Structure 1
Amino acid sequence: MRAILLGGGLALLLSLLGTRVAIRQFTRLGYGQEIRDDGPTSHHTKRGTPTMGGVVIIVSAVIAYFVAKLITRAEPSASALLLLFLFVGIGAVGFLDDFIKIFRQRSLGLRSKAKMIGQTVVAIAFGVLALWDELADEAGRLPAADQISFLRDFGWTLPTALVLFVIWFLVTGFSNAVNLTDGLDGLATGASALVFAAYVVVGIWQANQTCGVTLNPHCYEARDPLDLAVVAASIAGACIGFLWWNASPAQIFMGDTGSLALGAALAGLAILSRTELLLVVLGGLFVTITLSVMLQVSFFKATRRFTGVGRRIFRMTPLHHHFEMLGWEQVTIVIRFWVITGLCVAAGVGIFYAEWVTGN
């Protein structure tokens, strides 16, 4: 528990101070954000705002985790190291995307295929390592399971190839979902902090009821839940520190460096804590925003094919831009979407706890 408090507190402090330094340095180097031309016109005033702030979130969280482990004299677990590998690896893909945008002075960085290849390589490497027999603990538990999980494993044992596909789908899906959500000042940062905080609660509860220390038939099979909670607290703290500077009017953006890394870390937490389907509830805002884009594109293509004129469900996607086009203030949208995320987190944690209490 001490490591969780140390990790979260130190990451918040490092991010709070480090982001201020990053703003000065990125401004001096001219690392400004390019704005999409087809977006809301109100966003054009943000052109030139420093970006790639996700570097601060990643560095702060990683340093905080290892310092917390050093202070508490605890050895890092395999699960935590795998999660950090995923977090940093996908963040590196986002960094390359951001750097290309800055270098070429355009709103698009890596081509979609190149970005997907990068995400796929990191996700598959993470999956292979998480299923590697050499990383089993004394009880024979691997970091990842070969079954689908909601609150715990259920169903049939899946072939390794199918498990890797599920891991790839979750990692690429949620990294892109958070990326789509990162369109308004503070929206993705604040929402991500809430979901990571939920995983701190999940990790602590699983650690107290782990099958390694209790004979309760409803114990949890997660390999290193308490250490995963330390990583989750570190990332949540880094997000909160960054939010001080990212809240409207944002003085820096996290860029794809941050959004892709945060989404991947959420997926990694779900996989390693064996709560893959619970993430759909906890991260309900990210899922909804992604679905809005999918529905918009599908409906437009279908109507254009059958009527010759493409029609839209929303005025603009992702979903938060739809409400902008309706005249909502950005701050209003962000706060209300944070409230929605809070309700999703409350529902997810409530479901998690209720399952334990009822024993079902």
Structure 2
Amino acid sequence: MKRVIVGLSGGVDSSVAAYLLKEQGYEVIGLFMKNWHDDSVTISDECPWLDDSNDAMLVADKLGIPFQTVDLSEQYKERIVDYMFDEYQKGRTPNPDVLCNREIKFDVFMKIALNLGADYVATGHYCRKGILDKNGAPIYQLLSGVDNNKDQSYFLCQLSQEQLSKALFPIGELTKPEVRKIATDLDLVTAGKKDSQGLCFIGKVRLPEFLQQKLQPKEGVIVEIPSEQELYKQEEPEFASEKDELAYLTRKIDYTVADGKIVGKHQGAHYFTKGQRKGLAIGGTVEPLFVIDTDVEENVIYTGQGKNHPGLLKKALFVSNEEIHWIREDLKLEVDQTMVVNARIRYRQPLQKATLHQLEHGMYVVFKDLQSAITEGQFVAWYLDDELVGSGVIS
């Protein structure tokens, strides 16, 4: 019997994952990760991790599997929270869920599991794992979940071959309604529980409130840039090389307050992110205002009306060499090579046709169609059919 340690989060997905593994004949142990107890940053009056660990314990009891809690709050603070604050201060928008999987669940947690004699670590992610044989050696694939509506492969886009080799995703072949039905039939306490919102494993926290406790409020102005602004009307120059053209497609427009009109005030540019609509508290415009850029140095937020504002739309993005990550290392591009892929720049975005261009200093991802709110600090992930083969941090 191979031993599997399941990250029991107190939700329905990991509960059913544990049940399925037990049915398949594995020796299953449930482990709950406690990832937060910093009282200097309150998260909410409720204490969700206590409720969640209780639910996880009840599920383990019902399934007849051993259960324990591990406290990873120190590593979580260091690797996720501090990194997030640092990124927001720089005016970038990190993705804590992708980081949590790379740094916590499939690193710190996985090491604890392997020390406990586990052969595998399992989670309740909606994705699948494939294995190919290449010259007698196994190559592990990260495949989309069968439930298109819940596919979570994007959140695992930074995993390595080594991490994948030890990972199991028992519910990847199921849809969410099927998972709920199994939990209901088993009378599990988590069967009707809502999906967790908020920060990965911290619970019911809303990011703005969380940030406000660490990053000091600082009043600044909100500027509206009209869509007919001259900046958007420049003719495309003649390009001497493909490299020049790619650089042009990913160029950043440097706005100044003089390019538009001041329409309001905010409490800190670092609380806002590109494409954001809520939280600006400005009415009276024909179409809603969206954040098209933030300047954390000058503490200015630039906005534009409507989701088709030219300041939101772009056809290409850049990833520096240090930030490129290939799950399928055997498919890695060499300098001057290209690859036609499907890509997404955020979770739940339908896959978009794109071409990867690997140059000396990094990789350009050029989309067939214009993309809205390409955001620095977020992850772009690229797929071949239903396989996620690589990813990178948008710079």
TM-score, length-scaled by structure 2: 0.26
TM-score, length-scaled by structure 1: 0.28
**Greater strand proportion:** 2
Structure with the bigger RCO (C-alpha within 8 Å, sep 6+) is 1
**Greater helix proportion:** 1
